[in-house]
Each structure stands twice: as C-alpha cells, then as structure tokens.
Amino acid sequence: MMNQNNRNHKGHSLKKGSAALAAMLLVSGTSIGVYKLVEELGTTVPEYHLSKDITEEENAAAQDKSTAKNTPAVQATNMSWVELASPADALTVPEIVEKAMPSAVGISSTFTYTAQTSGYTGFGFGGMYGNTQPVSQEATATGSGIVMSTDGYIITNAHVIYDTESEYKMGKATSVSVVMGENHDEEYEAEIVGYDIQTDLAVLKINAENLTPAEFGNSDDLKVGELVVAIGNPLGFELYGTTTCGIVSAKNREVELEDKTMTLIQTDAAINSGNSGGMLLNSYGQVIGINSLKMGSSYGEASVEGLGFAIPINDAAEIINSLIRDGYVTGRPQLGITGTTITEDMAALYHIPQGVYVYSVSESSASGLQQGDIITAIDSTEITTMEELNEQKNLHKAGETVTLRIIRNGESTEVQVTLQESRPEA
C-alpha cells in the first residue's frame, strides 16, 4: 500500500464482503506537495530476465550443508526460528539486507484533483449564504520500489502511481520521483513506462546509470514456513529502508479486491502503508515478491495482525516485460463498460435480477450494450457478480466475440459483443 495521508488467488479465497472491503488495504500514503510535471516517455528496451539459475556447484554445496545441518547433533541444539526457517546455505539476515538494500528505493507521486470548497458570497433574507467552487489541489503519495536494471528501470505497484482508492479517484500521477542512496538524498525525476491496474504492477524509468539491480529468485520454489525479509518505506521516507522479517504464511492465496482476484504470497513480515512496491526477499537475498497489500487492523469484529500479501515475482515477470516492451499488457480483453454487481439485497429491493448493472459504455465500444442493461450470462454461463463476469471474459482474447444475455427494460435478450483490447489511459 502507498503511504497516503489523504486516504488512508489457489487456496482459501478472502471474499470481499463489507468487512473485508474495509479491511483489505493497499499499502501507500499522501501529503500535500508540489512537484514538476513529468511527461511519459515511450521506450523500447531488451527483455529483462527476472530469475536466477542455480549452478550445479551451488546445488552440491547446498546439499552438503543440508546434510550437515540435519545430523542428530545439530538437531539437538537450540536453533532460533530464523535458523529453523532458513535453508542450510542461507545468508544471515544482515547479509540479506546488505545485499538487497542498494536496490531498494522510494517512490513519491504527485496527484492533481478537483475538490469542491465552500465559501460565503453575500447576504440574503436568511442571512449570509454560501456556494461551492471547484478548486484544483495536489496531493503526494509515497511508496517503495525495486531497481531491476543498471540503466534505471524501477518496479513498483500500479497503485503507487495511479489512484483508484481515494475519495477523489485521482487517476495517474502528474509527476513521479525516485529517491535512493544510503541517506535517501538522491532524487530522480521518473517517467511512467507503463502500468497495469489489474495486476497492480508498474514500471518507471529514471535517467541514471550503473545502478545496483536486485537479484530475482524463483517464487515457485518457496515453501510455507520459509524465512522472508521485507524492505520498504513504511509511513513515508522518515522510516526509509525499514527491514522486517517473517515467514511465508501461505502460497497461492486468492485475495479479492476491487472486482479483481489476485493470487498472492501471504506473509507475517510487517508490511505497512508505504511498503507498496517494495521487495520481499528469500534467504538468498533474492526478490521473490513485490509487497502490495495487507489486512487492516480490524476485520469485521476481529482484530488482526501479520497478514501481508506480495505479488509472486514469477507471475510479475511477464507483465513487467510487457510493460517495458509495449507500455501496457497487450491482448487483454475488455467489454468497454463500467458496471457494478447487483447484490441479492439490491435485487430484492428493486425487483430486478442479480447480475452486473451497466453504468456506462465507452465511446469506442460498438458492443450494442446500453446504460441500464443488466448482464446475467456470458456464453451461456450464468453470472451474478462483476468478478464472475471478468473471470469468464478473461478466458477470451481481444478481438474475439462473446454472447451476453441481458435484461433491458424488463425484457431478456442476447447481444453479440466483440471484445476490445484493454489499454491504459494516455
């Protein structure tokens, strides 16, 4: 999550009920500030490889150490939880931090939005009367990032540079900067190379050379109970480079947030506002996850702690390379609508079927859908939620045609819709 002052998947699925929606927090935050506008730069670069192949010599060394560690004499010693959670050939936690810290950076994003302010303009029969005026304002949000190349490519979360969560839905940041250095005293203007809201990933580019890129591991090799270390900037840059550690609490955890389902690594390493986009490291100091969100301090009536989530690096790699190569994820389908789930209670109250209510249809869409339509099925598959609609839609590619069953003016009918390619705003 971002640190923002103005606002605050396969295993068990965390369903997005009212309590869950309030409790699942993206990790980022905001203060008021003014930054220079940075224009986007379209760049074509070679594909970056985000995994490390272990050599036969390293494997042999690991097996030797593992054999020694599992002898009865060693097992009889009082090992710390860190030792118990680490492979035999693991680095120590200070060694992990020393290796990874030069690749950990801070992200500062500036957003411009319009707010309504009230004021008094004169006197009337009832005394002084007022009106509201739209006023352009700015807010800044801070997060974390990961150096992925010597020539200045930086990985972070999409929600660090694109706001969909706050009251004002401020959209893409008008300017972004990257902070780095031992004393976080080096600051670079950053260009947004590309972002993907669906997977919550973004790539930035700064004009710098000879940076220290992170080493990327294989998130598929993680084991539940294994040691992990998180590095980021909780609550802003005053706590720049904060390190926490814990274990992998679960793999392939399905989390629902904002009509999308993400499959994430769950960890009890402390992750807080400002950690968004930061690194989750394995015992070898390799990035195996990108910290993204946490469960809030209260979940319904329960008090919770230590429920953080990170995007597996193996899942992120293809998206990151696509963002660098094309600026967005190509071939992803969309219906060209905005809509919302009609819940069971809403259906009963308004005497309408459950499904997806169409709020608007994009100007570029030739779908045949209209505002007020209720989508109840796609290709003969019944749907009652936006999540189910997206799940079925994502089985297709852009350019393919799907059949939607809709309710329009109380009558059931079917429309053929050609899926568009989803592109971010310019």
Enumerate the active-site residues. Answer: 159, 200, 276
**Tokens standing for residue 146:** 């990961």
Q: Give yes or no for a contact between 158 and 305, defined as CB atoms under 8 angstroms apart.
A: no
Sequential DSSP letters for 96-133 = HHHHHGGGEEEEEEEEEEEEEEEEEEEEETTEEEEEEE
Query: How many alpha carbons lie under 13 Å from residue 320 in its C-beta half-sphere?
Result: 29
For 128, counting Cβ atoms within 10 Å of its Cβ (0-12 exposed, 13-18 middle, 19+ buried), the class is: exposed
DSSP 419: P
**Integer Cα distance of 191 and 301 in angstroms:** 42
DSSP 46: P
Query: Following CA atoms 424, 192, 241, 305 in sequence, which dihedral angle do they give, to the nearest 10 degrees?
Result: -10
Backbone angles phi, psi at 346, to 5 degrees: -65, -40
Residue type (1 letter), 317: A
**Integer Cα distance of 50 and 215 in angstroms:** 8
Sequential DSSP letters for 243-290 = EEEEEEEEEEEEEEETTEEEEEEEE-S---TT-TT-EEE-TTS-EEEE
Q: Hunting for tokens 């118990």 — which residue is that?
A: 84
**Integer Cα distance of 258 and 261 in angstroms:** 8
